[in-house]
Amino acid sequence: MPVAETSRWAYSTVPLNERQAAVAAALMELGQASDQDLSMKLGWPINCVTPRRGELEKLRVVVRAELRKGPTGRLVSVWRLVDRQLDLPLVGGA
């Protein structure tokens, strides 16, 4: 699933380190992905992917797109880059 041009905002306007940028680029290419999908795409162990994706979530670069059943039948989060700043919930009211 291709990602809209507006998704480039998600990581072009926020300074990222090399690993965070790699995860964001993989998400841009995949469109949506679980941590396991990202692990396979990047060829990294899952314990290297999950913290970087978590950092991107805290930076408000990625958001949960959906929950789906994973290979084991358990629910897993599927992530995507934000399309635009308006895609994010307001923090602290207003």
Residue 92 scores a pLDDT above 60: no
Residues 3-29: pLDDT tens digits? 445 445 555 567 899 999 999 999 999
pTM for this one?
A: 0.77
Residues 55-77: pLDDT tens digits? 999 999 999 999 999 889 999 99
- The pLDDT, as a whole number, for residue 91 is 52
The CATH number given to 5-84 is: 1.10.10.10
Neighbours of 92 (CB within 10 A): 4
Cα(22)–Cα(56) distance, rounded to whole angstroms? 11
Cα(6)–Cα(8) distance, rounded to whole angstroms? 5
